[in-house]
Amino acid sequence: MEHMTERFRPAYHFTPAAHWMNDPNGMVFFEGEYHLFYQHNPDDIVHGPMYWGHAVSRDLVHWQHLPIGLKPDHNGVIFSGSAVVDWKDTTGFFHGQPGLVAIFTHHRRHPESGAAEQRQSLAYSSDRGRTWTMYAGNPVLESPEEPDFRDPKVFWHESEQRWIMVLAVKNKVSFYSSPNLKEWSFLSHFSGGSQAGVWECPDMFPLQVEETNDFKWVLEVDINPGAVAGGSGGQYFVGNFDGQRFIPDDPADSPLWLDYGKDHYAGVSWSDVPAADGRRLWLGWMSNWQYANHTPTSGWRNAMTVPRQLQLRSVGGRLRLVQTPVHEIQSLRTDETRLKSVSITHQQPLQVAAVGQCLDMQLDVQLQGCTEWGIRLCKGQNEETLVGYDSSKQELFVDRTHSGLVDFHPEFTGRRSAPLASNDGELSLRILVDRCSVEVFAQDGLVSITELIFPDAASGDLELFVKDNAALLHQMTIHTLQA
């Protein structure tokens, strides 16, 4: 990737070559390439007139920037949406061959009334996503009455042999079906969980339950504001989809949060990952609408999360979403530090100097009566980012109060926590650090916390500590990563 030396630019997380980025869009795998489009303002580092920026990767960790995919036209600017492989040429765009179709929201002000208008449109590509043609019949789906009507995620429903669209409509989702992506019929609505803000960027897919051959449907939907950590964030529902409607397993009014940090939004999964691979893969936008336009980078703004694999795990009889970084990031490992069986006490914290800020860490710890155990990351003279566990509250936390630059927006600073039972005092953490971000995955991905940080580039030490009593570090592996 270009410009790797700019301040805060991550070493292995996707960032735009220049200017502004928000949601991932048009995520599709085709002919050996993962496509990543994204909400992009090519003229500024704040949100503005939206285009689809474009990049491709063969391995999910090295990205090649391509020219802009979709540009505004007479129907408006290009808001979020998805892309699919039209294997059977149901659209007739591809002369019987497979091709790529993007389904997205055209957003504009109505020429007469001036009211905001959101309508769904198509664009297609017969050259592996390199060039795109707007469908002459756009838009293909207009709002019956609601102005918030956007972010279509489309997939092929095998048993019904038709396309399904899940669309965010104010504070619910609507399902539509189509034989050809051009004509859409309303199927049903779903709402539940938290409706404290506007729903955005839904996704829905069948997902495997770990270590079984069972599949369940997962519906994920973002909400802004009103998410668990404040501002924008995501929730999910587990249930069944019968081709018409989604029926949740849990009572639909208790939200399940996707991530307990402030900086995980608009996660969407890749369509058409080959069955031989079989994984459900996604990534999200690593920011929060509270301060996304104000983060202290220049020339470029905002990064994606690391690509993550999704699975379901049965926990106390309920199915819960589990996220783990894709195994491909192991190919980026450079240096390795390994420690085994180290006792940590209040008098004797464990210091590891100069490990840097581009890390993939695995820690297995036994809490020996300590009320709080933690790790100080990106530690410098006057700053540190805390990742830890509060045993009395049974909470995992990330505290960025003293992480570096925090005062660019009042909602940025502070501590975020997630409910997490330790496993008889045993805690297993995977932590990814990449100059401006920390992603924590606890108990093999059962809980995640994703947070931005803006430390001094020289703050590269780390320290493990306990507040009282002791903890035993069974093992810790620290890998330095570089894409």
Contact positions toward ligand FRU, by CB under 6 A? 22-23, 39, 50, 79-80, 105, 150-151, 200-201, 266
Least distance in angstroms from the C-beta of 25 to ligand FRU = 8
Task: List own/partner pairs for 85-89 with CB under 8 A and 24 or more apart.
Answer: 85/28, 85/30, 85/271, 85/272, 86/124, 86/181, 87/156
Look-up: residue for tokens 């303002």? 41
Residues in the chain: 483
Least distance in angstroms from the C-beta of 2 to ligand FRU = 23
**Cβ distance to ligand FRU smaller for residue 151 or 434:** 151
Q: Which of 23, 86, 272, 390 is catalytic?
A: 23
Asked if 461 and 351 touch (Cβ cutoff 8 Å), the reply is yes
23 is catalytic: yes
Least distance in angstroms from the C-beta of 140 to ligand FRU = 17
**Cβ distance to ligand FRU smaller for residue 220 or 390:** 220
Least distance in angstroms from the C-beta of 315 to ligand FRU = 29
Least distance in angstroms from the C-beta of 297 to ligand FRU = 18
Cα 77 to Cα 39, 40, 151: the distances in Å are 10, 11, 13
SS3 103: strand
**Cβ distance to ligand FRU smaller for residue 50 or 165:** 50
Q: Distance (Å, rounded) from C-alpha 180 to C-alpha 91? A: 5
**Cβ distance to ligand FRU smaller for residue 189 or 338:** 189
What are the residues whose beta carbons fall under 8 Å from the beta carbon of 417, sequence distance 6 or more?
260, 390, 393, 395, 396, 397, 398, 449
Q: Distance (Å, rounded) from C-alpha 29 to C-alpha 57? A: 9
**Cβ distance to ligand FRU smaller for residue 167 or 363:** 167
Give 307's DSSP letter: P
SS3 94: coil
The pair of three-digit structure tokens given for residue 160, joined into one six-digit string: 């019904």
For every residue of 151-203, which 3-state class applies, written as one string?
EEEEEEECCCCEEEEEEEECCEEEEEEECCCCCCEEEEEECCCCCCCEEEEEE
**Cβ distance to ligand FRU smaller for residue 3 or 294:** 294
Least distance in angstroms from the C-beta of 267 to ligand FRU = 11
SS3 286: coil
Q: Which residues are catalytic?
A: 23
